[in-house]
Amino acid sequence: MKHVGSSLQSSVSTQLTKTTIRNRILKRLQLQKEDVRKRLSEIIRRKLFRSKFFKQSKIIMFYISFGGEVDTQKMIKEAQNLGKTVVVPVCAKNRIIKACVLEDSAKLQKGPYGILEPVARKRVPLKNLDAVIVPGLAFDKKGMRLGRGKGYYDRFLNTLPERVMSIGLAFRFQILPSVPSLPHDMSVKSIISA
């Protein structure tokens, strides 16, 4: 019985630490000036587009940025202009992410958490993805990520074929020495920051 209690206590303290980190990073994202966010996002965009895996990828999943995150709007447009198929996450009611094509002039609507999603939903099988650009509030140098706490991306990353590249985009203040994690938390294979 003692082991179960200590495990539960560890889980509770990890959750408290995650909440503290989330709150601090969310505040930093809100306080960051828009011109700084745009400038750093552009540096990240250039690094991403120069990478070998990006150049070789044909079907790429981006997130549609919101709430002060690394801006992906220009990245999405440029990837489409390069002839790549851009896919974005659509949140299903059962806390599952569906990968859906984002057409160049797609109509968007707010999803369950206020994140924009395409109205037309043409799903792409996960085995067809080459790369997934992953949002996160914090990352560590080993690729462990801290999301917004709903577990959507952890479940999604857990179902990706091993060959699919997963890349976190972050501002430098979002890279921490270590991110608290639980067994179900998933890491990314690479992080691009500025």
Higher pLDDT, 166 or 181: 166
Q: What is the DSSP letter of 70?
A: P
Going by pLDDT thresholds of 50, 70 and 90, the confidence category of residue 113 is: confident
Question: Which pLDDT score, from 0 to 100, does residue 104 have?
Answer: 87
Question: Which pLDDT score, from 0 to 100, does residue 2 have?
Answer: 34
Question: Which pLDDT score, from 0 to 100, does residue 15 have?
Answer: 66
Question: Which pLDDT score, from 0 to 100, does residue 6 have?
Answer: 39
CATH number at 18 reads 3.40.50.10420
Whether the per-residue pLDDT at 100 is higher than 70: the answer is: yes
Question: Which pLDDT score, from 0 to 100, does residue 85 have?
Answer: 98
Q: Tell me the C-alpha distance between 133 and 60, whole Å.
A: 8
SS3 category, 154 = helix
68-85 pLDDT, tens digit each: 999 999 999 999 999 999
Q: Which of 149, 134, 143 is nearest to 17 (CA)?
A: 149
Q: Which amino acid is at 145?
A: R
Q: Tell me the C-alpha distance between 134 and 99, whole Å.
A: 12
Q: Tell me the C-alpha distance between 50 and 190, whole Å.
A: 14
Q: Which helix (H) or strand (E) holds 167?
A: strand 165-170
Q: Tell me the C-alpha distance between 46 and 190, whole Å.
A: 15
Range of the domain at 100: 2-193
Predicted structure pTM score: 0.89
Q: Which amino acid is at 80?
A: Q
Q: Report, as an integer, the average pLDDT of 122-138.
A: 97
Going by pLDDT thresholds of 50, 70 and 90, the confidence category of residue 13 is: low
* CB-count burial class (<10 Å; 0-12, 13-18, 19+) for 136: buried
Going by pLDDT thresholds of 50, 70 and 90, the confidence category of residue 59 is: very high
Question: Which pLDDT score, from 0 to 100, does residue 4 have?
Answer: 37
Rounded mean pLDDT of the chain? 91
SS3 category, 90 = strand
Number of domains in the chain: 1
Whether the per-residue pLDDT at 98 is higher than 90: the answer is: yes
